[in-house]
Structure 1
Amino acid sequence: MKTRVGVFFGGISVEHEVSVISAIQAMKAMDSEQYEAIPIYISKDRKWYTGPELLDIDNYKELDKLLEQAQKVTVVRGESDNVVLQKDPVPKWGKRTVTEIDVAFPILHGTFGEDGAIQGLFELLAIPYVGCDVASSSAGMDKVMMKQILRDSKLPTVDYVWFYSSHWIEDSTEITKMTEEKLGYPVIVKPANLGSSVGISKAENRAELEEAVEEAMTFAPKIVIEHMVQDMTEVNCSVIGDFEEVEASVLEEVLKTEEILSYQDKYEGGGKGEGASKGMESTDRVIPAPLSDERTVEVQELAKDTFQILGCSGVSRIDFIIDKSSDTVYVNEINTIPGSLSFYLWEPAGKNYTELTHQLIQLALKRHRDREKLIFSIDSNLFSIQSTDGLKGSKNGIK
């Protein structure tokens, strides 16, 4: 019997369209002899759909028509403690469920998908799921939290300051002064919990800094400002595994058309050709990155350390900055659900996309088996010793 893999994609994120591309790539790559890929599309207005129509990328050009054809569903635990896709609304008569899923495979980039939100749902449903858990997803998504954790473990990150938008509104002068004293110009201003270069700006003076912060605040309430390394090379490395065992991919050097790698650079190949239909595969890059063997190993080891220190599982892509003037490598960020699942970094080493998706599903099942051995609740009968007076605040009550 095939393992039914529910692939969750779309979502409430600025990376919605990229998620659709990545998910369809992954579903087409799965071994159809072992797995049945079940698409579960989450629309921008938070409705969930399934159906074979969702497997064709061309159908998304007429989204309203596509969703009329697809089946609207909710994901619930069934009567047999299984996880099912239930018709929405639930019919009064006839079959209520569409199908059952054995494993959840989230391919949701950005907020509400890569930040631990949907992973929490999977935990409550008690279903095996691919990729990072709630804590590592949250830590990886929040650039400030990630930097704090990595710095505590002595991994190199560029200097930064961070604040909430309310702090900026209350005292932008003080934050500006702190930025100038600690970092100087130029700087990079980013929303703390977004990906795909959305909301990111360069600032070379105070006026540009204020403009960049205002822009970032439209996307997130938490802002990070980083020292900008000007003479740099950007390289990426993918890691697959868990806390016990990991392996690192070949490296890529990412090329760009501007000083900051833009959304168009990442997903449209610099805005040229058919890149928008290929996801991160379309990015202009050099594979393997033209680095020395020693530098390559250094980056790969830092990538594996980053992955395990953050408690990651599944596949991630860690992005690095090499400061050519000081010959220093910095961890820039981690993508816990990377575009195209970084399959293009594994193929050169002999791991094709089908093998990659198989390994990810098996890692999910392994973690689920391990967690089933843990104790999450204990037998107790606290209510039997709780008196009515105790509920009113007497000395027998709980304090």
Structure 2
Amino acid sequence: MKKKLRIGILFGGRSGEHEVSLLSAASILKAIDKKKYDVVPIGITREGRWVTADDAHALLTGSQPPENPRLAGDPEATPTAAVIKRGEAIIVPPVPAESLQPLELHAAAELSPARPALALDVVFPVLHGTFGEDGTIQGLFELADIAYVGSGVLGSAAGMDKAAMKKLFAAEGLPQTPYLAVLRSVWRGNPKAATKKIETALRYPLFVKPANLGSSVGISKVHDRSELAAAMDLAASFDRKLVIEQGVGGPGAKPRELEVAVLGNDSPEASVVGEIVPGSEFYDYEAKYLSDASVPIIPAKLTAAESKQIRQMAIEAFKACDCSGLARVDFLMEPAKGKTKPRIYLNEINTLPGFTSISMYPKLWQATGLPYKQLIDRLIQLAVERHREKHQTRFTRV
């Protein structure tokens, strides 16, 4: 009988997308094939505490885990990097500076036989945003030498940092709206000079964003100078680097917001193109998660040529950032103006997009012919394949 893979579903985290992560994890835990996989839930609290089993379930259901949960696990699994591999009922220290210190574990005699340490075959991180989608947790997986779903350290970091991402897109000649990157220290040090630089390079309306965040957290649409300072301050509260983009289509224009799901490793495939019609002025956090006014259209109403172009651009963006596993690539399309062909701009890539059963990424694959449960299977397969491929690489001269 074929051995069942043991899958760790990692969720929660310290980012502003904590709640979104819980929703994604709950959907995966409900849909994943329990006959095919042993599933271990692993939660990270807002404070950065790692919890498993019953405590992880409590985190999902809105109950806080105990302040001082009992530590249990394999006494030999002391480095934090090994925690992921050793599995259940281990709490990781929350302080990053102490993350390579030995864990304080109970003696082996105190371990509960009902909750033994588990070796994980694959980790499925559903950690959106900072500390989960930016290459940091991926580095831990690499140190632990464990297979994991999604992009590696480079792809995750590049996909999270919008300024770095845009440079990679530009190197591949992919069309983007004009933008500037401004450091928080520069903005706070001399806001008048920063404003002048922004207004010299870009035209209103503008979008001001934290460079390293997702789910539209901290993003503002700026119609004129009177709104710029508040938008910059908001974005600066979330990141040290800010990205200011020129709006597509000009004043009063509302571009079409298009999305493509990409799946694969070295030979990625693109889903059908979907469109989001926001219930607000743009597709912000409230429109995504707190309102049912936004309308998804799958597939988007495009010409065959437009759809082909967008899908190809999505694959090129995926490769440009050295992504693997999964990503959702977002586009902006100018409003139609008479017989003029509307231009299409690459907006950004999301390496760990929302993964509830009604999120755009799985819905796009559902419309392409790959149902949610099978999509989970495919992502796990891709993680295993990538891990095996990595083992073809030599790390020493001996």
Q: TM-score range by the shorter chain?
A: 0.7 to 0.9
Question: Which ranges of structure 2 fall in alignment gaps of 5 or more residues?
Answer: 92-103
SS in 1 for 2:190: helix
Q: Distance in 2 between matches of 1:241 and 1:208?
A: 41
Look up the equivalent residue of 1:166 and give its one-letter code: S
1:338 aligns with 2:381: no
1:60 aligns with 2:83: no
Look up the equivalent residue of 2:138 and give its one-letter code: Q
1:165 aligns with 2:162: no
State the structure with more CA Rg.
1
Q: Deviations over 1:103-148 (max 9, x none)?
A: 1111100000000010000000011111000000000000110101
1:347-362 mapped onto 2 (5 Å cutoff):
347-362=366-381
Q: Distance in 2 between matches of 1:44 and 1:252?
A: 33
The aligned counterpart of 1:177 is 196
Residue number among 304, 311, 318 corresponding to 1:300 in the alignment: 311
Q: Distance in 1 between matches of 2:175 and 2:117?
A: 49
SS in 2 for 1:254: strand
The aligned counterpart of 1:246 is 268
Check whether the contact 2:209–2:219 (CA below 8 A) recurs between aligned residues.
yes
Check whether the contact 2:264–2:325 (CA below 8 A) recurs between aligned residues.
yes
Q: Distance in 2 between matches of 1:3 and 1:292?
A: 43
SS in 2 for 1:87: coil
Residue number among 85, 105, 110 corresponding to 2:129 in the alignment: 110
Residue number among 144, 155, 166 corresponding to 2:174 in the alignment: 155
Q: Deviations over 1:150-197 (max 9, x none)?
A: 011100111001111111122222221121121121111111111111
Q: Distance in 2 between matches of 1:52 and 1:3?
A: 21
The aligned counterpart of 1:390 is none
The aligned counterpart of 2:33 is 31
The aligned counterpart of 1:213 is 232
Check whether the contact 1:51–1:70 (CA below 8 A) recurs between aligned residues.
no
Q: Offset of 1:56 from its aligned partner?
A: 7.7
The aligned counterpart of 2:95 is none
The aligned counterpart of 1:391 is none
Q: Deviations over 1:22-78 (max 9, x none)?
A: 012112222222211210000011111111564588x623x22x5579876789984
Structure 1 residue ranges, 4+ long, deviating more than 6 angstroms after superposition: 68-71, 73-77
The aligned counterpart of 1:327 is 342
Give the TM-score normalised by the residue count of structure 1. 0.85
In 2 relative to 1, CA 68–152 (structure 1 residues): closer, same or farther, beyond 3 Å? same
SS in 2 for 1:110: coil
Check whether the contact 2:7–2:40 (CA below 8 A) recurs between aligned residues.
yes
The aligned counterpart of 1:256 is 278
Q: Distance in 1 between matches of 2:66 and 2:149?
A: 26
The aligned counterpart of 2:22 is 20
Q: Offset of 1:203 from its aligned partner?
A: 1.5
Q: Distance in 2 between matches of 1:364 and 1:25?
A: 19
Check whether the contact 1:314–1:364 (CA below 8 A) recurs between aligned residues.
yes
SS in 1 for 2:147: coil
Look up the equivalent residue of 2:205 and give its one-letter code: P
Q: Distance in 2 between matches of 1:75 and 1:261?
A: 46
1:129 aligns with 2:151: no
Residue number among 78, 84, 95 corresponding to 2:111 in the alignment: 95
In 2 relative to 1, CA 73–134 (structure 1 residues): closer, same or farther, beyond 3 Å? farther
Q: Offset of 1:94 from its aligned partner?
A: 2.9
Question: Which ranges of structure 1 fall in alignment gaps of 5 or more residues?
Answer: 273-282, 380-399
SS in 2 for 1:101: coil
1:265 aligns with 2:248: no
Q: Distance in 2 between matches of 1:103 and 1:21?
A: 20
Q: Distance in 2 between matches of 1:91 and 1:181?
A: 62
Q: Distance in 1 between matches of 2:324 and 2:76?
A: 24
1:237 aligns with 2:252: no
How many residues end up aligned between the 2 structures?
363
SS in 2 for 1:23: helix
In 2 relative to 1, CA 13–76 (structure 1 residues): closer, same or farther, beyond 3 Å? farther
Check whether the contact 2:7–2:39 (CA below 8 A) recurs between aligned residues.
yes
Which is worse superposed, 207-216 or 108-117?
A: 207-216
The aligned counterpart of 1:363 is 382
